[in-house]
């Protein structure tokens, strides 16, 4: 009887120590849930975002596609956890993402999904999403010029 009592006490003691240890580990790194933030806040690497949560980062409004923490919103990472919704100024005025800066197309430049370029004839093209994105920098896929341009670009106007 004494051995079984001693065994039960050891097991209970071990369980209570592991639960204390788990609590300590869980509280090592404080997190802020989006529901605790008033209004639209700037993205923070310490904040836990779940699907549908929004954050402002570098003048853009982003929405989380799934649970994420510490993943910086980037428009060149279409497979990442963030979706670009629109541009935002400091007064929280919104404009649609199609107002991105349009640059002159240059072969060999690394373009990201969503980048817009203008060709000499005035036509504007948008670099397609992954997996076509790497082709946007190749001269053989120059927008509107080659037979394969539609594999990398979409015509905007």
Which DSSP string do the residues of 39-98 spell out, in sequence order? SS-B--TTSEE-TT-EEEETTEEEEESS-EES----TT-TTSSEEEEEEE-TT--EE-GG
pLDDT of amino acid 112:
84
Token pair 């090592």: residue: 28
- Kindly state the percentage of the chain with pLDDT values over 90: 13
Q: What is the mean pLDDT of the chain?
A: 74
Q: pLDDT category, 150, cuts 50, 70, 90? A: very high
Is the pLDDT at 20 greater than 50, yes or no? no
Partners of 127 in the beta sheet? 153
Give the number of other CB atoms < 10 A from CB of residue 112.
16
- Exposed, middle or buried: residue 12 (CB in 10 Å: 0-12, 13-18, 19+)? exposed
Q: What angle do CA 111, 101, 145 make, to 5 degrees?
A: 50
pTM of the model: 0.39
Q: Give the right CATH number for 48-87 from 2.10.10.20, 1.20.1260.10, 3.40.228.10, 3.90.550.10.
A: 2.10.10.20
User: CA-CA distance, 5 to 7, in Å (whole number)?
Assistant: 5
Long-range contacts of 144-149 (CB under 8 A, 24+ apart): 144/119, 145/119, 149/125
């Amino acid at each position: 009887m004494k051995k079984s009592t001693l065994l039960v006490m050891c097991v209970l003691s071990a369980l209570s120590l592991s639960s204390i240890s788990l609590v300590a580990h869980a509280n090592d790194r404080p997190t802020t849930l989006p529901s605790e933030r008033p209004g639209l806040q700037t993205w923070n690497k310490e904040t836990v975002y779940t699907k549908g949560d929004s954050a402002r980062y570098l003048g853009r409004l982003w929405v989380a596609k799934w649970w994420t923490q510490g993943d910086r919103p980037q428009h060149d990472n279409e497979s990442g956890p963030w979706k670009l919704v629109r541009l935002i100024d400091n007064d929280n005025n919104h404009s649609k993402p199609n107002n991105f800066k349009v640059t002159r197309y240059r072969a060999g430049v690394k373009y990201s999904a969503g980048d817009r370029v203008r060709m000499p004839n005035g036509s504007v093209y948008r670099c397609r999403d992954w997996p076509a994105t790497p082709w946007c920098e190749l001269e053989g896929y120059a927008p509107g010029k080659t037979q394969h341009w539609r594999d990398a670009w979409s015509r905007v106007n």
